[in-house]
Structure 1
Amino acid sequence: MSSVATPSSVSVPQGSPAAPRTVRVELGARAYDIAIGPGLLGEIGTRIAALRPGARVAIVTDQNVALQHLGMVEAALDAAGIGFSTVIVAPGEGSKSYAGLQQVAEGLIAARVERRDLVLALGGGVVGDLAGFAAAVVRRGVDVVQAPTTLLSQVDSSVGGKTGINSPQGKNLVGAFHQPVLVVADTAALDTLPARELRAGYAEVAKYGLLGDEKLFGWLEGAWRGILSGDGDRVEAVAASCAAKAAIVARDETETGDRALLNLGHTFGHALEAGAGFSQRLLHGEAVSIGMCLAFAYSARLGLCSGQDAVRAQRHLEAVGLPTRIADVPGELPDTDGLMTLIAQDKKVSRGALTFILARGIGAAFVAKDVDAASVRAFLEEMRAA
């Protein structure tokens, strides 16, 4: 029987077997489960049939994921007697665009998806955000099931209802809150990922420890190899991350308060992503890794946390193999003024005032409003030169 995971449940010996986990996102009448464990894609038809009897399913996926997992999912739906159609987009951040939204929305309409049907987002964060946003707006709202296939999407983007696309002016600037009705995180799907993408996803796992749980971060310092290699610690890490996010989302669904803490590292990171052209030069998790190191370094600069905490965070991410400095981004980036322009487009900016997620220590992040832009610019200038 599945158990409900909490961050404290991660205290298992490295390499031990882990039972499937279920994390509940408590949102009243819109509450939903996150099922976590190996082999869950093979039973997704049974779960959907129980959740929504008689519904048809429109699968949205990308070309790479389709090669790896689409056949299994289609077979599972067919075995459960569920009718389905499929929309396949190009892989990569470029599909999270107006053109990508049009392709998916028109595909759903052409498939005659009705409001009582389901959209199944099968893939990583790009597919989840894109399919979720299309589901939010087609016929003024169709329910979505998230089936994340990357570590980053399993622990972050598939949970909490944030959906959207990128604008040429910045990341995730067009979107909607549209909670899923179910999340199915098959941890065995992560075995098909390139090592670089696994590491990038791990940055979001580390984020939960850095922002609110020093004990979790300490566990990760010893367990990260098992999480990346796929032993029982992987299920525990995904479950702990989802439980941490679920608790925050339940308190602040639409990011008017402490849900903003989940953006630790993202203000700097999104600017770097945009500066790199949303390309393979810098994956989202890699940008978050650099951004978290910058956030801790800037916090130390302001005297908010110790330099030792900033170094500890950076050394762990470096040990995992993640980039931690602006200089680690290959190729040219905008100058400091260009990066500041991108930071000014961040969704957390309020009436022109900069908002950052800073830290008083490991596991002690907080929302800092009205951050002095000149101070940030001077800090970035120094970090670019380092």
Structure 2
Amino acid sequence: MNSNAEMDFIKINLESESYKIFFGKDYIENSANYIREFTKTNKIAIITDENTANLYLNKISRSLLESKYEVIHIILKSGEKIKNISSVENVINTLLEKRFERDDLIIGLGGGVIGDLAGFIASIIHRGVNFINFPTTLLAQVDSSIGGKTGVNTKYGKNLIGSFKQPLAVFSDTSSLSTLPVREIKAGYSELVKHALIKDNELFMWLCENWNVIFNQEEEIIKAIKWSSNIKATLVQEDVRERGSRALLNLGHTYAHAIESLLKYDGTILHGEAVSVGIILAYKTSYLLGYSKKDELNKIIEHFNDVGLITDLRKFNKDNIDSDMLLNAMNNDKKVKSGQKTFIIPEGIGKAFISNKINDEIIKSIVDTALAS
């Protein structure tokens, strides 16, 4: 493997599970060269989805097989629908049938759904096996692959079954982004800009001027991904189990998860699209409460519109969702404490705080206005 000095990375410094996130090109095609230092096993299970398999499974497998690894392929259907406990059981049964052992390695190859699912399986099979993540979407590279959160959805809500499983390493292969539909890039951008909104006004201003480097796959895309990832990494290091400041990363997510839950993860809305709508609703909440100014709200809406992010809840309201339905769905959010909903309230751009004291009537007013306007 190339020395770390030759590679672009950030390090997640945790007490017992520190690891590096590498940024660059061709990690998938040369996977064996990079994972060798992290595992002594000869058996590797690659968990992926149909879309990713069509693009990258042969590439990653060829590298591993040429280096004499035994490779197990597990290919799932694509989309949020497969992120459930039934999929977990089916994958685990397949691995056990293949005599997958405690010292063997699971590789997650795909977007956020696959990373969450593969990481969760790695955390529970044999009470925990080694895991390396190869995120292939922008959303996964800047957000879901960082910090060890894994899990699956239930009929009651998103990520309500899960665990923390830190990987041995993450390889963010930016060459994989060139195959993504623009819709997926936009979905990932929502999470990238979210990090700027909660912690770094300078990054937000840079994105306002340079967001095209991401969509055009220009060289500075690594700068943007690394900058955003470093914000999340810092919050994870401060609060790995999300008992405090890490919860800031949920900006827009109380709204977003409720929307996704009501739409039953049917593919109508991508997670990042729900997040972009949720961020706008969070800023409208903040403005109503006096924590953000009108020009700040307008600046964010303007930027989201420039990029082509979705800001209008009505775009996905095919099932006649109303404010009461959203409020009820929020009651099942994993951030609920003592029956109180938790919201991340932005204070302008680059700062936010956590609150579980937002009155339901305020949320109802925000949603009703968004649905009517």
- Once residues 20 and 281 of structure 1 are traced to their aligned partners in structure 2, the CA distance between those partners, rounded to angstroms, is 38
Whichever residue aligns with residue 229 of structure 1, its letter is N
Tell me if the contact between 2:281 and 2:366 (Cα under 8 Å) persists in the aligned partners: no
- Once residues 325 and 368 of structure 1 are traced to their aligned partners in structure 2, the CA distance between those partners, rounded to angstroms, is 24
- Once residues 291 and 331 of structure 2 are traced to their aligned partners in structure 1, the CA distance between those partners, rounded to angstroms, is 23
Please list the CA deviations of residues 327-347 of structure 1 after superposition, one character each: whole Å capped at 9, or x if unmatched: 122522422111101111111
The 3 A distance-change label for structure 1 pair 193 and 330 is farther
- Once residues 125 and 49 of structure 2 are traced to their aligned partners in structure 1, the CA distance between those partners, rounded to angstroms, is 19
1:292 matched residue in structure 2: 279
- Once residues 66 and 206 of structure 2 are traced to their aligned partners in structure 1, the CA distance between those partners, rounded to angstroms, is 40
| SS of the residue 1:351 aligns to | coil
Residue 226 (structure 1) aligned with residue 247 (structure 2): no
Task: Output aligned runs, 1:331-350, within 5 Å.
Answer: 331-350=318-337
1:315 matched residue in structure 2: 302
| SS of the residue 2:41 aligns to | coil
1:42 matched residue in structure 2: 29
2:346 equivalent among 338, 352, 359: 359
1:102 matched residue in structure 2: 89
Whichever residue aligns with residue 218 of structure 1, its letter is M
Please list the CA deviations of residues 111-153 of structure 1 after superposition, one character each: whole Å capped at 9, or x if unmatched: 2221111100000111111111111111111121110000000
- Once residues 314 and 279 of structure 2 are traced to their aligned partners in structure 1, the CA distance between those partners, rounded to angstroms, is 15
- Once residues 245 and 329 of structure 2 are traced to their aligned partners in structure 1, the CA distance between those partners, rounded to angstroms, is 23
**Runs of 4+ with >2 A deviation:** 1-4
Measure how far apart 1:54 and its partner are: 3.2
Tell me if the contact between 1:359 and 1:366 (Cα under 8 Å) persists in the aligned partners: yes
Whichever residue aligns with residue 236 of structure 1, its letter is K
Tell me if the contact between 1:265 and 1:288 (Cα under 8 Å) persists in the aligned partners: yes
Q: Could you state the TM-score of these two structures normalised by the residue count of structure 2?
A: 0.96
1:86 matched residue in structure 2: 73
1:276 matched residue in structure 2: 263
1:243 equivalent among 199, 216, 230: 230
Tell me if the contact between 1:44 and 1:184 (Cα under 8 Å) persists in the aligned partners: no
Gaps of 5+ in 1: 5-18
Tell me if the contact between 1:205 and 1:238 (Cα under 8 Å) persists in the aligned partners: yes
Tell me if the contact between 1:20 and 1:235 (Cα under 8 Å) persists in the aligned partners: no
Measure how far apart 1:240 and its partner are: 1.1
| SS of the residue 1:288 aligns to | helix
- Once residues 172 and 29 of structure 1 are traced to their aligned partners in structure 2, the CA distance between those partners, rounded to angstroms, is 25
Identity percentage of aligned residues: 38
1:373 matched residue in structure 2: 360
Residue 173 (structure 1) aligned with residue 157 (structure 2): no
1:152 matched residue in structure 2: 139
Whichever residue aligns with residue 287 of structure 1, its letter is A
Measure how far apart 1:3 and its partner are: 8.0
Please list the CA deviations of residues 310-367 of structure 1 after superposition, one character each: whole Å capped at 9, or x if unmatched: 1111111111111102112252242211110111111111011121001111011111
- Once residues 320 and 112 of structure 2 are traced to their aligned partners in structure 1, the CA distance between those partners, rounded to angstroms, is 24
Measure how far apart 1:2 and its partner are: 8.2
Whichever residue aligns with residue 194 of structure 2, its letter is K
Q: Give the paired residue count.
A: 372
- Once residues 164 and 240 of structure 1 are traced to their aligned partners in structure 2, the CA distance between those partners, rounded to angstroms, is 26
Please list the CA deviations of residues 83-124 of structure 1 after superposition, one character each: whole Å capped at 9, or x if unmatched: 211111111111101221112111221222211111000001
Cα-Cα RMSD: 1.5
2:104 matched residue in structure 1: 117
1:7 matched residue in structure 2: none
- Once residues 350 and 50 of structure 2 are traced to their aligned partners in structure 1, the CA distance between those partners, rounded to angstroms, is 38
The 3 A distance-change label for structure 1 pair 2 and 151 is farther
Tell me if the contact between 1:281 and 1:330 (Cα under 8 Å) persists in the aligned partners: no
| SS of the residue 2:102 aligns to | coil
1:215 equivalent among 202, 214, 217: 202
Residue 263 (structure 1) aligned with residue 282 (structure 2): no
